[in-house]
Amino acid sequence: MNKAEAHIRIEELNRILHYHNHLYYQKDTSEISDLEFDTLLNELIALEKAYPDLIQPDSATQRVGGTVTKEFASVTHKYPMLSLSNTYSESEIAEFDERVVKSIGQRTDYVCEMKFDGVAISITYKNGILAQAVTRGDGVRGDDVTNNIKTIKSIPLKIQGKDVPEEFEVRGEVYLPYEMFERINKEREDVGEALLANPRNAASGTVKMQDSSIVAKRGLDCFIYSFLKDGETPETHSAALQQLKNWGFQVSDSYKICKSVEEIWSYINHWGEARFKLPLATDGVVIKVNNLLLQSELGMTAKSPRWAIAYKFKAEEAFTPILSVEYQVGRTGAVTPVANLAPVHLAGTTVKRATLHNANEIERLDLHEGDTVFVEKGGEIIPKITRVDLSKRKAGSKRIEFIHACPVCSTPLIRIEGEAAWYCPNDIGCAPQITGKIEHFIQRKAMNIDGIGTETIELLYQKKLISNVADLYTLTYDQLIQLDRFGEKSVNNVLAGIEESKKTPFKNVLFAIGIRYVGATVAEKLAMHFKNINNLKTASQQALLEAPEIGIKIAESVVTWFSNPKHTELIDKLAAAGVKLELSENEIITIDSDLFLGKSFVISGVFEKYDRDELKEIIIKNGGKINSGITGKLDYLVAGENMGPAKLEKAQKLGIKIISEAEFEKLLNG
């Protein structure tokens, strides 16, 4: 395919992919399978790789990210993003209505909308194409996070519709659905990282991540709630919302036109209960004057519009006595205190347990046995204890002290400097750590062993058939067929799944063995750098730090893990079982020369002859190293067209050698 043909095909693929994205995210329907969609997307990726100058600003490939932004440019909002006045009472809503009526001299309709708990974003479209996305910031200036917002699939990159203005702006709330929040926390738990507190904080942190490819994997979503442009606009806010829906924006169907304070309060009461069935966090209701001309007439104060107000739901809170405190041990050995409570109804569910997080939290609350505590679930997935009702504390009640030994194996707990959690160091003899490691090992992103679940692992451990992950490969038909609920078919499925897992790539195996801080991405970096388990096992801390994007915390963890004889014995058993502990030939980048040995590179921008992945491969093949960011130790910045100005400025300040594509070729040719 020549360049002209590629141009036509790229335009056609983008049109097809935008159409199917629109159907899926705005119409809740699909005309093709996920496989067919991915095949089209992969074809587009390949063509753009071959002809990078043909990449369109609204390309469907922008959804998968890949841009790294070290510093976010500050942008002045064309229309200030003011905060809303808040209220918690019906009387203040009535006062708001009275002020509006008095100012405009007539009664008016209002639009009530759910106030979703996320991150406000302002998105500008020019000629129907997403041009810029900016955070609220201080209301006057925000950060340019365009590359990250493009990864959100429900936000159109190109408007599908008629009569689209040459330039306009939409406002919306970027949020993290509960399901995604729980998945991310499971992944963080897998590598021993602290859990995210709530979906709102997680969404805020994700929007400001430097690597848009990571943002794409987080699964952010967005509801659009406002339309702004110079000149003529629809007459009402509700008409503007309908126009936005027609253009392919995701607008929540929960909004309603209300004609009186009574109707507003009815809406609030309804969603005060119904919100707990939504798949995302909410914290109130926004009430807006519907007529846009009247909005303009009412105007703004210095801080907020006079035509809108936010009713904030009070955080769901209940008080109940603590019955006991128990301590759970996770896969990494982290010990988490959990309070068992007298059952209490909260946020649509009956709560019997609440996390106490760690020893610091118990000390902060000054908990005593039998205390009556306030439990809150506002904006949180997991109920938490916020404070103690001291008026109900029994005289002489004993203070709750955090334990000093593991509740399962009695091993003295340790605390790692700089961390709040206490750990059980007995990772090879503590039952919940053993079973937790095996559960981690079999999961889809690791060894992906079908036919085995949590209950099966517990049963196999109790029957002393497994005590570590390597023991899975010694299980026999005769052992399994004797177990309860195991028929011939299920036994064969388990054994087939275990046998199939021996084909799992080395990078997955490295993630599966459960070294602390070594998640799936880090495991891939280590696998590609060290090639096999023996090289990794014998690597010094300094050698590990020379691997791409490996910091001191990960390096120390890897060295510590392999220094344990029980762990090296485990690796030997996996090797004997036939598990892949090295890269296959087609995964290895062969070193052609030592031309760039000891030299480090950062690649930025768009190039004429190569794409960035090709340049990286050339550098690695010639003994060089690719860095993720610019530091004083960097040797070369290979600069292409449209590279980030912040990156260029930093390199210049640090005196880094900046070379063009042509200069790189000269370097390559000696």
- Output the pLDDT for position 105: 92
Helix (H) or strand (E) holding 5: helix 3-26
- Output the pLDDT for position 589: 64
Q: How confident is the model at residue 546 (pLDDT cuts 50, 70, 90)?
A: confident
Lowest mean pLDDT among 121-125, 155-159, 224-228, 666-670: 666-670
**Residues 6+ positions from 642 with CB-CB distance below 8 Å:** 605, 606
Q: Quick check: 149 and 72 in contact, CB under 8 A?
A: no
Q: Is 240 helix (H, G, I), strand (E, B) or coil?
A: helix
- Output the pLDDT for position 69: 62
pLDDT at residue 378 is higher than 60: no
Residue 657, token pair as written in the block = 């050698």
- Output the pLDDT for position 36: 77
Helix (H) or strand (E) holding 663: helix 661-668
pLDDT at residue 249 is higher than 90: yes
| Residue 655 or residue 124, greater confidence | 124
Q: Give me the percent of the chain exceeding a pLDDT of 90.
A: 50
Is 600-668 in CATH node 3.40.640.10? Answer: no
Average pLDDT over residues 401-430: 91
For the chain, what are the domain ranges? 3-64, 76-84+108-267+274-308, 431-503, 506-587, 600-668
Outline where DSSP puts E strands in 184-241: 221-228
Helices (H), 366-444: 431-442
Angle between the N-to-C axes of helices 90-104 and 261-274, in degrees from 0 to 180, rounded to the nearest 10: 140
460 vs 462: CA distance, rounded Å: 6
Burial of 285 (0-12, 13-18, 19+ CB in 10 A): buried
39 vs 112: CA distance, rounded Å: 42
Residue 212, token pair as written in the block = 């848009």
57 vs 239: CA distance, rounded Å: 29
- Output the pLDDT for position 625: 82
- Output the pLDDT for position 628: 63
pLDDT at residue 381 is higher than 70: no
Q: Quick check: 388 and 366 in contact, CB under 8 A?
A: yes
Q: How confident is the model at residue 502 (pLDDT cuts 50, 70, 90)?
A: very high
- Output the pLDDT for position 365: 92
281 vs 306: CA distance, rounded Å: 26
Q: How confident is the model at residue 26 (pLDDT cuts 50, 70, 90)?
A: low
Confidence (pTM): 0.60
pLDDT at residue 521 is higher than 90: no
**Kind of pairing, strands 119-126 and 129-135?**
antiparallel
Q: Quick check: 548 and 626 in contact, CB under 8 A?
A: yes
Decide if 115 is catalytic.
Answer: yes
Phi, psi of 440 (to 5 degrees): -65, -40
Closest to 506 measured CA to CA, from 529, 473, 472: 529
Catalytic-role residue among 115, 158, 256, 384 = 115
Q: How confident is the model at residue 347 (pLDDT cuts 50, 70, 90)?
A: low
Inter-residue long-range contacts of 12-15, CB under 8 Å, 24+ positions, other chains counted: 13/40, 13/43, 13/44, 13/47, 13/60, 14/44, 14/56, 14/58, 14/59, 14/60, 14/158
Lowest mean pLDDT among 29-43, 263-277, 437-451, 503-517: 29-43
CATH of domain 431-503: 1.10.150.20
| Residue 26 or residue 223, greater confidence | 223
pLDDT in tens, 549-603: 788 889 999 999 999 999 999 999 999 999 999 988 766 666 778 888 888 888 8
623 vs 410: CA distance, rounded Å: 50
HEC sequence for 512-574: HCCCCCCCHHHHHHHHHHHCEHHHHHCCCHHHHHCCCCCCHHHHHHHHHHHCCHHHHHHHHHH
295 vs 548: CA distance, rounded Å: 54
- Output the pLDDT for position 349: 75
Question: Which CATH architecture best describes the domain 3-64?
Answer: Orthogonal Bundle (1.10)
- Output the pLDDT for position 520: 83
- Output the pLDDT for position 67: 61
Region of residue 653 (left: phi > 0; alpha: psi -120 to 50; beta: else): alpha
Instruction: Judge whether 76-84+108-267+274-308 and 600-668 match in fold.
Output: no
Residue 307, token pair as written in the block = 């035509």
Select from 3.40.50.970, 3.30.470.30, 3.30.565.10, 3.40.190.10 the CATH code of 76-84+108-267+274-308.
3.30.470.30
CATH of domain 506-587: 1.10.150.20
pLDDT in tens, 3-15: 888 898 988 988 8
**Residues 6+ positions from 209 with CB-CB distance below 8 Å:** 148, 215, 218
Average pLDDT over residues 35-55: 82
